[in-house]
A and B are shown apart, each in its own frame.
Chain A
Amino acid sequence: MPEFPKADFFESSLAAVGDHDLQRKLESASARHLDHFAQIKAEFPAYEDEREKAHRIKTEAIAHLDELLIELTSKLEARGCRVFFAENAKQARDYIVKLAQAKGARTVVKGKSMTTEEIDLNDAFERVHIKAIETDLGEYIVQLRGERPSHIITPAIHLSKEDIGQLFAEKFHTEYTPEPEKLTAEARSRLRTIFLGADLGVTGVNFAIAETGTLVVVENEGNGRLSSTMPETFVAVMGIEKVIPRLEDLSHFLEILARTATGQKLTTYTSFITGPRREGELDGPREMHVVILDNGRSAMLADPVLREALNCIRCGACLNVCPIYRRIGGHAYRSVYPGPIGSIVSPNLFGSAAGYLPFASTLCGACKDICPVKIDIPRILLHLRWKESNGGHQLKWPRAIERARRGARRFAATARHPRTIRALGRFAAMMLKPFAHNGYLRRMPGPFGNWIKYRDFPRPRPHKRPPG
């Protein structure tokens, strides 16, 4: 997993805040998205109801996760799938890479999957000289640039059509065009050839239905369908939290996922995958593997507050409304999962090195309001902040509270003497004068320095007379 040096986040977010071009792209994309969403919501009166249902089903599913995973596994195995439980990213990676090597695979096609990003699968393939090609258009673009996705739904949100046109012209030695239609057609024909010759396909999973042993994959382009039906070997990678109990639960999630993720009523393609192809069938793999990944999720399950975050269906809506995400974009978070939900799951999936992320939030609550499965993100962020600053030990609340009380009492005593307080105010304003520049304090001595570095604090001005 990529490293998360703390200083890096401050540097990258500061750099991103200064990148007005990036903000223009983020703003226009987010604004368009929110327009679609508002329209869809207005046309779909059942939305609140469906949210409530989805929340209930997920909470119930998470509470019975063990039983559901057993049921799912036995159903999948009965259909001829091989199921592998991976405790961590390395186990998952190793299993898939060894499988690819055993099959003599040279080319791997990948459908869009955040979970395979999480386990850093592409790098693992690269190390053994297997070509892993991202086939979702946005992922394909960022892979060509040697980058990582900056949004979990729209990976190339940080690029303009001109950026992409230049990229294609450089990489493919074709004539430059910024036309999305032409760029898409170019990618289609290149990727089609790759699909027909690929040895192994890998996709993520949106929902796994325990009752039927079905893996459900949603997408708009058709690359998920191609990845799961063309190659002779197919691997589905899913987190343990993706399982839902019954077929009848599925429609509630499908009804809200597309609406919040992309402003559609339903995604273009929803594939129900149950196993390898049968005798005589043209489509489907000869061999199908399902990798079920824990990687820190069971630890989240063990924390009663954090557990709720496992309800997440990865729609990306909380990113689009987040005032922080909209300023700095996905890359600044330095995590595969950016934005509010990313700040919750990253420290748990990638270890304490990402522990600073829960602090990158204003706690405004927009994420909670939009979340289709009603995750109380601000509450979980506060919980994680508490855990982080606490270092896992008992916090010294009593002492801090006592200190604050003493300070308040002293202030109250001083405030009874107007002349003293005015004199103190004048004195403070005078002392702060050398630190001010253009009406704002720009630097401060000692511990105040860090506070002032990221906040605007106007220079206190002495009053001739007390106001009022």
Chain B
Amino acid sequence: MAELHKIIANVKEALGVATPGNAHDAAATAVPVSPSAYRAELTSTFARELEEVGGKFVGILTPAEVSSRIVSLAREIGAKSVAIGRGLASDMDAIGEALERADIRIVRTVAVADVERAAMRSRVADADLGIAEADFAIASTGTLAVVSTAERPSSLTLLPPASLAIVQIDRVMPNLAEALAALGADGVAANRLTLITGPSRTADIEKRIVLGVHGPKSLHVIVVWPQDD
């Protein structure tokens, strides 16, 4: 990923276009080449901003690579149980099965009746990793926009100590305004939406930054690039 960005930066410099020190201008200064180069550029900005706020960019993967990468990530962080929600475009069932094959316990979030709520919640809270697909990623700030639904509850990105988000590359937006516009007034009105910019953090003790106060201590992001365009 880092290499790709360097190349694009070099190309830009050669073209005499200033490198976007501020990703805010990413949309305006993007080189008008193929849509895939534009997406790669946005994703590299997103990756840089994500890392700056303490998140970890796992990489751009093809759909086929996702499951095995998640299994190895779960092993790296020593996860014994993983909470997983329903996907948007990603096949979360396949990911869940791959994790189960690797002897990792899976908590699938499904619609719950009020009486089952507490039980489901403590299972999600006890998981070592929560996996959710994000609706959008925002390049300029390294942010994820995640809508909470019955099968993809907000708890997935909040309760477990580690969080993993998957986002489709065509859902990486240049900035906040465009992401909100893509969701639309109706989309925002109808849903519980959360913008997530890095892991949970505080600077309340002598302004020293500490990660993982109430939410996850680590945040990992995979961008999925279907190679059909």
Contacts and interface: CB of A to CB of B under 8 A. Distances in A.
B22 A45 contact: yes
Nearest to B215: A222
Contacts of A264: 53, 197
Interface stretch (B4-12, B88-96, B143-151, B221-229): B143-151
Given A32-B207, A269-B196, A283-B148, A229 B201 contact: no
A185 B186 CA distance: 39
A135 interface: yes
A268 interface: yes
Contacts, number: 197
Contacts of A266: 141, 143, 176, 195, 197
Contacts of A268: 53, 196-201, 215
B155 A222 contact: no
B36 interface: no
A265 B48 CA distance: 13
Nearest to A79: B189
A136 B204 contact: yes
A222 B200 contact: yes
A160 B49 CA distance: 31
B150 A229 contact: no
Interface string B165-197: 000000000011100110001101111111111
A138 interface: yes
A234 to B, nearest CB: 11
A73 interface: no
B204 A191 contact: no
A255 interface: yes
B109 interface: yes
A435 interface: no
Interface in B23-71: 24, 49, 53
B214 interface: yes
A131 B109 CA distance: 32
Interface string A271-296: 11110011111111010000000000
A164 B188 CA distance: 40
Interface in A184-239: 184-185, 187-188, 191-192, 195-196, 209, 211-214, 220-223, 225-226, 229-230
A282 B120 contact: yes
A340 interface: no
B145 to A, nearest CB: 9
A155 B203 CA distance: 11
A254 B155 contact: no
Contacts of A230: 121
Contact of B112 (A137, A191, A280): A280
Contact of A156 (B158, B196, B205): B205
B192 A274 contact: yes
Interface string A140-152: 0100000000000
11 contacts: A28-B206, A43-B21, A79-B189, A135-B214, A160-B206, A195-B214, A222-B214, A265-B197, A267-B197, A282-B121, A284-B154
Minimum-distance CB pairs A-B, first 5: A222-B215, A280-B111, A138-B204, A222-B214, A212-B189
Interface of B: 21-22, 24, 49, 53, 109, 111-114, 117, 120-122, 124-125, 140-143, 148-150, 153-155, 158, 175-177, 180-181, 185-186, 188-208, 210, 212-215
